[in-house]
Structures are given as structure tokens and as C-alpha cells.
Amino acid sequence: MTVTSKILRVAAAQLAPVWLDRAATLAKICDAIKRAAEGGAQLVTFGETLLPGYPFWIERTDGARFNSAVQKTIHAHYVDQAVTISAGDLDPVCRLAAQHKIAVYLGILERGADRSGHSVYCALVYIDCNGVIGSVHRKLMPTYEERLSWAMGDGHGLRTHKLGAFTVGGLNCWENWMPLPRAALYAQGEDLHVAVWPGNARNTRDITRFIARESRSFVVSVSGLMRREDFVESTPHLDLILEYCEPVLADGGSCIAGPDGEWLVEPSVGSETILFADLDPVRVREERQNFDPAGHYSRPDVTRLIVNRERQSTAQFVDGAALGGNS
């Protein structure tokens, strides 16, 4: 491929975290970025909350028990290993993106410095090929037991980004089942959709092709892996977590579909890998000849979507200058 080529090579990095070890997991992510770039990728994607890991302990340790000392201890450790963007925790990823001229979609557990600094969000971060963070999308609605750990996000990160001849956007896990967030991205011209998952082909096998057919876009579903051996010994209450822990908690299932809904890369299960695919934007135009969900096949005079992209906060501070007084 040449620099002027409209073909975009994408990579789905299916990794297991070094669970709840931010530094060690970040090292694995950085290595995967380098390998994806060496493989010619211009975009590399990673699974949901891969950095530093998904809250697999909840359903295995009576996570809904109120005021539990066990849950408090594990959760405090989880928050401690979360990513604080303003503290520079993603700087190594940004530097590599700029160095290798590769864009990155990365699933993180974000410690919300703008919301007290003690609540955590499932967030999907887009970093462009200059190493600049373009958006941080906090998951709108954590799924089921996730609500015992993650706070609810907002619409601030429902944004798309130009990447070569494509417009790329992304959603976290079951957000991909939500019609209106998908529609918000379609309306912004999305023709390359990134769906991130903690792992399991049962999640990706059907919906990846469905979104591709619905949107007439390329869809990259990228998942993590999680096995018993991926828990680290320093994890609080590890004995309780492993007591009812199956050998494989997340088996992957990363895959890539074309805008006709057919597989470019079928779901990969059971091992760490980097999947590559070359995407031709002409295929989008061909498939949208008969159906364009935000274009000629839409009826905004009948149905329209309003999206609130304001970053939500519990307080708005107005200081002296803004009030017309002395600063």
C-alpha cells in the first residue's frame, strides 16, 4: 500500500490483560501497537476495558451484597488501577500512535477526574495518528452486574473521526445493541464502525454482521480474552474469585465484516492474536446504492434524533470574571 492509497488496513488486537495491573497491561498494548504498525495497519483496536481489565470478580464473589468488605476491597483496588487520562496514563500510547502514524481505539477503565476522581467509567478512547486524543466515550449504560462497579456515562463521546477515506466511530459492548447511539454515529457519516467487547464469540458472531448490513459499513468487533491464569497473585481476595471461576471467562471472538454483512475475518476464538483486513471505501458506496440509513433511505421529516453531547457534571462553577466582577 502507498500513502496515497484509499485502502485502509485495520487491525483487531485480541489480548488478555495482566488483570488489574495497569502498567503490565499497558506494556502488552504498546507491544501490540508496534506489531500492528509493522503489519501495515493504519488503525489498531482493542477490547472493552482491556486496560486494566473487566470486572470479572462481581458475579463470582456475591458482588451484590451490600456493604461487603470484600467488595469494597476489590473495588478500591480496581479504581487504583484505572486510567486517569489527565495524569498522563495514556501518554505511552499517544507517543506510539504518533511515532508509527497509526490510529488507536482502546477500551479503558477511566477514573473520572471531572466527577470526583473516585468513580470509574467504561470508556472507549480514540487516538489519532498524530497521537492526539480525539474522543473519550463513556459507556451510556453499564450492563447488568457492571452497574455495581461502573458509573453511567453521557453522550459527549458520541463522535466520529476522519481516517483516510473513512469516517470511523465506535461503541462499547451492548451499546452496539442500542439503535439510537448507532443512529447518532450513522448521522455523522460513519462508514467504519468499531465495536469493543470484553470477549466471547456469542456476543460478536451475530451483531457484527447485523450492524454491517444495517449501516452498510465495515465493522470491526474486537474482544479481549480472560483465563484463570490471567488473574495475578496480588489481586485482593483472589482465592474467592477463583473458587467459582471457570477455566475460560472470555474466549475472544474478534472478527471483521464488510458492508454487505459478509465476513472478511470470521470470529477468532481462544488465543491472543492480531487480525488484519484491508478495507476499500468503494465497497461502502456500492452497498449504499440501495440503502443509506442516514441518507437517501432516511426520513428526517418523520423521525429525527436529538443527541445531547454535553459532558455531564454535578457542578458548574462561575468565577468573578464571568460574573462581571474583578478576577
Annotation marks residue 173 as catalytic:
yes
**Cis bond before residue 52 (omega within 30° of 0):** yes
Q: Residues with Cβ < 8 Å from 268, sequence gap 6 or more? A: 14, 252, 253, 254, 255, 275
Annotation marks residue 48 as catalytic:
yes
- The whole-angstrom separation of Cα 54 and Cα 270 is 17
- Which entry of 28, 94, 139, 190 is annotated as an active-site residue? 139
Cβ-based burial of 169 (10 A; exposed 0-12, middle 13-18, buried ≥19): buried
- The whole-angstrom separation of Cα 327 and Cα 134 is 32
DSSP 17: -
- Which entry of 28, 48, 122, 175 is annotated as an active-site residue? 48
b or e along 247-284 (b: 16 or more beta carbons within 10 Å of the residue's beta carbon)? ebbbbbbbbbbbbebeebbebbbeeebbbbbebbbebb
Can you list the alpha helix ranges (DSSP code H) found in the chain? 22-38, 69-80, 91-100, 179-186, 201-215, 238-243, 281-287
- The whole-angstrom separation of Cα 84 and Cα 248 is 29
Q: Which three cell numbers stand for residue 179?
A: 439503535
- Which entry of 94, 122, 173, 245 is annotated as an active-site residue? 173
Q: Which amino acid is at 86?
A: S
Residues assigned a catalytic role: 48, 139, 173
